[in-house]
């Protein structure tokens, strides 16, 4: 199946300077779905405001004014993003990190009934089946 043509070819996005990026992996890995609305706003703002090293120099009051967030709203959003290892904050500046490396799915612990069958048990079962 061919991808659809742009709806308005005269409005195709271009990379502009300055350029900001928001990693698509946020959606693919489910990180975005697991964020509160305040954390989403803060993260998207920081992605847009950050320089190429991920540093943002906007203060909390300025960020709050863009979104009418209360101080506890931005504090909670910041804590959530720090806990998810998406940003750092030193009390004055923010740094947006590259996304964390996805962790492999934890292996399931085997229950007694799911333990591997012993070789001797397999031989006994085969011998009994052939009698």
What are the pLDDT digits (tens) for 73-128? Answer: 999 999 999 999 999 999 999 999 998 887 666 665 545 556 666 666 666 777 67
Per-residue confidence (pLDDT) for residue 63, from 0 to 100 = 93
130 vs 90 pLDDT, higher one:
90
Rounded Cα gap, residues 49 and 67, in angstroms: 14
Per-residue confidence (pLDDT) for residue 100, from 0 to 100 = 82
Per-residue confidence (pLDDT) for residue 109, from 0 to 100 = 55
Per-residue confidence (pLDDT) for residue 102, from 0 to 100 = 73
What are the pLDDT digits (tens) for 48-85? Answer: 999 889 999 999 999 998 988 888 999 999 999 999 99
Domain ranges within the chain, ordered by starting residue? 15-96
User: Pseudo-torsion of CA 39, 43, 71, 56, nearest 10°?
Assistant: 160
Rounded Cα gap, residues 69 and 52, in angstroms: 26
Given a contact cutoff of 8 angstroms between Cβ atoms, the answer to whether 22 and 47 are in contact is: yes
Topology (CATH level 3) of domain 15-96? Arc Repressor Mutant, subunit A (1.10.10)
pLDDT (mean) for 12-34: 83
């Amino acid at each position: 199946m061919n991808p659809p043509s742009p709806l308005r070819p005269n409005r195709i996005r271009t990379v502009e300077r300055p350029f900001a990026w928001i990693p698509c992996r946020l959606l693919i890995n489910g990180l975005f779905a697991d964020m509160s609305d305040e954390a989403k706003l803060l993260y998207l703002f920081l992605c847009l405001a950050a320089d190429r090293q991920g540093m943002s120099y906007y203060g909390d009051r300025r960020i709050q004014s863009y979104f009418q967030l209360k101080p506890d709203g931005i504090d909670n959003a910041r804590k959530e993003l720090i806990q998810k290892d998406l940003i750092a904050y030193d009390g004055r500046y923010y740094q947006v990190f590259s996304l964390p490396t996805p962790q492999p799915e934890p292996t399931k612990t085997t229950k007694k009934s799911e333990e591997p069958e012993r070789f001797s048990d397999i031989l006994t079962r085969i011998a009994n089946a052939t009698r």
